[in-house]
């Protein structure tokens, strides 16, 4: 008398393993990104945008700027028109970026020639904006803190992205522009004084 064997075939076992691995991948993909990953993504995005903006400024002879709001956690790009500084609204590459609530940013302007406040004229000495306050009804945007000039020069700065419960230096991904105009992306804890020659 022949006994029937019970059990799973090799194909059935392989099918179960494939389904389990697909389920595991789906769960991993659906997990929220870590705050470090978000900071890395934001810094990388700004790094790439700055490189494009710098090239665009030189090729098209257009002066640009970057304005960052540390309090609200956002930044946007600007261009210099005959009417003054305007926000770039018509190009999705340079659209305004608002960080997630759990993220923060800080902007530090270079401390050498760009940071000195040696002005040709004292505010209000030659052109006083208050004189024309009644004529200018529309509110002007604040000028950018960082200049990206058509001459190829850029304001040296460090912009850090980090979790708002973390430390800017230990947890922050940073975009740095050196005095020489070299753009670099720095990891958390990486020194800002290292050589920038390979980063542009």
Residue 117 falls inside a structural domain = yes
Beta-strand relationship, 173-177 and 84-87:
unpaired
Question: Among residues 113, 109, 118, which one has the least CA distance to residue 143?
Answer: 109
**What is the tens place of the pLDDT at every residue in 93-133?**
888 999 988 889 999 998 544 444 444 344 444 444 454 44
Identify whether the C-beta of residue 159 lies closer than 8 Å to the C-beta of residue 46: yes
Report, as ranges of residue numbers, the positions in the chain whose pLDDT lies below 50.
Answer: 32, 112-129, 131-135, 137, 197-200
Residue 100 falls inside a structural domain = yes
CATH number at residue 177: 3.55.40.10
- As a whole number of angstroms, the distance between CA 73 and CA 62 comes to 27
Domain that holds residue 57: 33-186
Residue 141 falls inside a structural domain = yes
Residue 14 falls inside a structural domain = no
Total tally of structural domains belonging to the chain: 1
| pTM of full prediction above 0.85 | no
């Amino acid at each position: 008398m022949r006994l029937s064997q019970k059990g799973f075939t090799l194909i059935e076992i392989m099918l179960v393993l494939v389904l389990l691995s697909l389920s595991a991948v789906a769960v991993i993909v659906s997990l929220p990104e870590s705050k470090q990953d978000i900071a890395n993504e934001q810094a990388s995005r700004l790094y790439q945008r700055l490189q494009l903006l710098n090239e665009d400024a030189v090729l098209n002879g257009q002066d640009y700027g970057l304005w960052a709001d540390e309090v609200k956690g956002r930044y946007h790009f600007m261009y210099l028109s005959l009417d003054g500084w305007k926000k770039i609204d018509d190009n999705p590459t340079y659209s305004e970026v608002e960080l997630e609530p759990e993220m923060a940013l800080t902007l530090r302007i270079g401390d050498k020639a760009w940071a000195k406040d040696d002005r040709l004229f004292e505010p209000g000495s030659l052109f006083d904006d208050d004189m024309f306050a009644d004529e200018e009804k529309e509110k002007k945007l604040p000028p950018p803190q960082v200049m990206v000039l058509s001459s190829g020069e850029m304001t040296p700065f460090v912009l850090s992205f980090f979790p708002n419960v973390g430390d800017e230096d230990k947890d922050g991904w940073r975009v740095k522009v050196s005095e020489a105009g070299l753009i670099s992306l720095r990891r958390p804890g990486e020194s800002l004084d290292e050589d920038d020659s390979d980063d542009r």
